[in-house]
Structure 1
């Protein structure tokens, strides 16, 4: 397809040269700190007159708001990349603390800014938003104003932000530090190795059950040794949140995550109800997979096991070329974006020790570039993950030219774009299979993601819901956390597994992220929402790309219910959409069951 050989190591020097010792980055942080102080001063100097003269001052503050937000996003993205590429980079951890402190100061200034918005009368406010300089920002400004009304006083919110630096966010940073030091022992070719958690996790995709079982045993032991420390960390994170919620008068722990997701509770409840009603077929798949592997039931460490005995690997180069080719069938802009990402070394995929687990895509607004992080070891799942993260990157690319304050889309719609890209590649892989056996291998890999998003994520949601209810009464022990996780997994997987992963709460970063509580259901929403979009794309063909981009550009300036109504003409609070969205997942399972019935 191309003569270009792609590097699987990203280029961060083009952003800030010198890594965690970068003088450029030091200067960047100094500029950010100066701009934050200026913004804070201007906010404190503004006394709204409650007339249309406020429009001018508000517009000026929004210009400063945008400048600071870009600076901090650029800084946070860079530090996140430094920490991910080398978990032993102590200077990067120090920089992370600095960025967190700056962000807290900015949040305090924003709390004051938002509070001022509430002091403007409704009538004048409505007139102000009709001004040419503000009309495009009316949704986000209204949103900030309404959320501010729902919080404490400016002084109290400032205190929360200040205490959160060494309290709330400090516990989150401690988790990252602990995980960076965890090593999983593993014997390969008679050689004793100590794998990072990212490397060890990839072993769960091994076709060799003895390898999976050994890694899982050592995995459980390693996390178990840290369980009490991590339980304390999780309890303090939840305790901080619950204390804030209590002071604000928020009784429902889902209020914050739903508000962040711009989503109604009715939508969430309808989605889970339809998924629960659809699980019988997923259990049939799990039982058939167990039979094909010669087992009575699957264990947790078998869930990512590939079908068949093939050990063929997809090189990074082959994966990159396949992704670009499939994106081009959907639209030229998406393919061009992927090509740019590969050619300009936006992707860190090298399989080496010392990297953080998982994968992510982050955006550098001042450089107008993205960076993608993962550990690529050549499995079909790795190709899907790479496509998934490129989908995130395309989302930010599609919003080019949109006002920066209208680009802060929530996680649930962020996962829509990533899953849409992943679906293009996974679907193509199945359709392009050379024979039935290869088709089954790829179909199985595709269904594994369905199981993860409809069962694993459901378990996370059930666990977090029950944990927060118990945490209201006081700290929850590591033993009890194991019990809650085991119960959630059994319910989510309909008790279809032989052995579960009670320490999953400790090993999953998402429970310890301070920025977004309930970092789970948005994945499932994004997955199924993307399937609804994907169905339209298949029906309309290559010309759908522009409509898809139009949808992406609206993702941060309306609720998800309004987004679906405008671009898909559906009501997300009703079962119809979700039943149609789940159908392709079930069709995959039907096909798998049919092809394997005589095996």
Structure 2
């Protein structure tokens, strides 16, 4: 297996952020956008002798453009992530945003054309062999077109969004980059970036150090809270004004439609989680006792717990690769083979060094037919699980490679399906491989803590964002109100089980400032539980489930979430039964944890 800790980006475009090959690609994309624009002008689905061939040509051109933008975007954003000082990479990311906005205008025109077609012509179109396979996506585009304003009005919104919506998104990134947190280490003052401080917030083994870091962390974000409040208010304001112009009267409709799910499904998911929260609180209380604390504080929830005197297993990057390939193979030879190819062809940027942005992600390269994975690997079992998680995303892209782009546009809620499934395989394998009870407790604690974050922390984000949007409809929400809303949401979601909370979380969490989608929260919990429900089904069915799982992933962009679950799992997501089966996977872990820790508490 490969020892390389750095990804190979030259195989995508040579020359890094100054790549001539990349600029040539962007030029060809812009030319294709102009050609696509000409194809959708003065055309109608109702003119089937002209409309059908023009639509086919447009979809082919659209495929080239969207694949190209995705390829270039993964490359440029990857370079910016790997080196925060690469100013040219950030410049290219902005350049891509400008080009994408040109395509957005064409896409608007396309959806308007679909919307204006007669039902008779539309039904004839969908029965044509050229369009049957993408009928769901085309229907979705037509419905979206019905909600749009005139072309000129939509073009104005797109133009204004560059310095409005996206401008404030860029402003947030600049504010985050300016955050500096001074800490004392070995008698000296060291200034940490936001990313470095975030790693220490829950990663330090000393509770006092974590609590000190939370205090410093809160203070740093608090110092700039008026600026963060302005940014968040204007992001939400731009979005709400756009909804109002399009006669959208409920701010929850767009995120639900984007995730192709019903509000009933979302509500029953949260209701079922809430019914089971007392068991999770029991876990949190036991964890507090193991840490010699009366109650956990905010940074303790995700912090590691240690009992006894065991030394946690650490993995070299090569050992992590071998472990993942082996245990992926226990479920799917195709998953295992893809992971091996990813390592051998250097898809992963894993080096632990300064200058990298925090976090981990996987991005697709549809033209290269590969993915790129970004993370920082330091050898822990959690790092191995994170690597598996991102490889799960890569597998999701892998099984959809031969599908048209319209059928690869899966929503955020199902985007976490393959990743969480892969992570669960590896997390369970590391627990099974534990060399002592103490190590097994530590690994179980890490796994259950992730579930607690999905059930409590993510729920608090959802509660906060919903209440913030409700207040924002009536005017600006100041920084004190934002702090109060955040702390109230955290207390409610955690059932007041913590000693201290994180009132400035509204400022420090990037997801609240996403310019692509609002409510960048509930899809994580949905994907987590949807994946666990699938995992439960896989255990029940056995080896024959591999093919069904693959087919489910391939259909994630071709039907609603409820239809997907009905077709491949034979379950109704608007009922609690499926959600409880997923939560039961977590409760089994909690039962084992409580049993193993009885003598240590």
Q: TM-score range by the shorter chain?
A: over 0.9
CA contact (8 A) 2:45 2:52 kept: no
Tell me the CA shift for residue 286 of structure 1.
0.8
Aligned-partner Cα distance in 1 for 2:83–2:224:
21
Give CA deviations for 1:363-402 in whole Å, capped at 9, x if unaligned.
Answer: 1111111111122223332222111111111100011211
What stretches of structure 1 of length at least 5 have no aligned partner? none
Indicate how the Cα distance of structure 1 residues 218 and 351 shifts in structure 2: closer, same or farther if over 3 A, else same: farther
- 1:106 matched to 2:103? The reply is yes
1:224 maps to: 222
Q: Deviations over 1:88-117 (max 9, x none)?
A: 222222212111111111111110111001
Equivalent residue number for residue 266 of structure 1: 264
- 2: CA distance, partners of 1:25 / 1:5: 27
Distance 1:385 1:74 in 2: 23
User: How far apart are 1:444 and its partner, in Å?
Assistant: 0.4
CA distance in 1, matches of 2:212, 2:10: 39
Q: Deviations along 1:391-447, whole A, 9 cap, x unmatched?
A: 111100011211121101001111111111111111111222222111111110110
Q: Which residue of 1 aligns with 2:445?
A: 444
* Mean CA deviation greater in 559-568 or 65-74: 65-74
Partner-residue secondary structure (3-state), 1:413: helix
2:545 maps to which residue? 544
CA distance in 2, matches of 1:318, 1:86: 26
Alignment of 1:591 onto 2:592: yes
Distance 2:35 2:42 in 1: 11
Q: Is the CA contact (8 Å cut-off) linking 2:39 and 2:54 kept in structure 1? A: no
The answer as to 2:51 corresponding to 1:54 is: yes
Q: Which shows bigger deviation, 188-197 or 587-596?
A: 188-197
Tell me, in whole angstroms, the C-alpha distance in 1 between the residues paired with 2:395 and 2:28: 29
1:576 paired to 2:549: no
Distance 1:145 1:591, change over 3 A: same
1:363 equivalenced with 2:361 (yes/no) = no
User: Out of 133, 154, 172, which is 1:175 matched to?
Assistant: 172
Per the alignment, residue 147 of structure 1 pairs with 144
Say which of 100, 125, 129 aligns to 1:128: 125
In structure 1, the partner of 2:500 is 499
- 1:475-490 to 2 correspondence within 5 Å? 475-490=476-491
- Residues 69-94 of structure 1 show CA distances to partners (whole Å, capped at 9, x for unaligned) of 11111122122112211222222222
Aligned length: 596
**SS of match in other structure, 1:330:** coil
CA distance in 2, matches of 1:281, 1:116: 53
Cα distance in 2 between the residues matched to 1:102 and 1:598: 61
Of 222-231 and 29-38, deviating more is 222-231
Distance apart, 1:201 and its partner CA: 2.2
**Does 1:257 find its partner at 2:258?**
no
Partner of 1:116: 113
Could you say what secondary structure the match of 1:193 adopts? strand
1:290 to 273, 288, 291: 288
SS at match of 2:532: helix
Aligned to 1:37: 34
Q: Deviations over 1:219-268 (max 9, x none)?
A: 22222223222221111110000001111111211111111101011100
Give yes or no for contact 2:197–2:213 (8 Å, CA) kept in 1. Answer: yes
Q: Which residue of structure 1 aligns with residue 15 of structure 2?
A: 18
Residues of 1 paired with 2:542 and 2:430: CA distance?
18
- Measure how far apart 1:193 and its partner are: 3.3
Q: d(CA) in 2 for partners of 1:225 and 1:45?
A: 55
How far off its partner does 1:311 sit?
5.7
The 8 Å contact of residues 115 and 146 in structure 2, kept in 1 or not, is answered as yes
Deviation of the 1:213 alpha carbon:
2.6
User: Which range is displaced more, 282-291 or 423-432?
Assistant: 423-432
Give yes or no for contact 2:413–2:524 (8 Å, CA) kept in 1: yes
Q: CA RMSD in A?
A: 1.6
Cα distance, 1:47 vs structure 2: 4.2
- 8 Å Cα contact 1:195-1:353 kept in structure 2: no
Partners of 2:217 and 2:354 lie apart in 1 by 16
Q: In 2, distance between residues paired with 1:180 and 1:333? A: 41
Q: TM-score, normalised by structure 2?
A: 0.96
Cα distance in structure 1, aligned partners of 2:4 and 2:214: 31
Matches within 5 A, 1:60-459: 60-203=57-200, 204-308=202-306, 312=312, 313-459=314-460
What do residues 486-529 of structure 1 show as CA deviations (whole Å, max 9, x unaligned)?
Answer: 01100110011111111111111111111111011111111111
Contact persistence 1:199–1:351 (CA under 8 A): no
Distance 1:481 1:319 in 2: 42
Q: Structure 1's 311 and 180: CA in aligned 2 closer, same or farther, altered over 3 A?
A: farther
**TM-score w.r.t. length of structure 1:** 0.97
Shift, 1:295, TM fit? 0.5
Residue 535 (structure 2) aligns with: 534
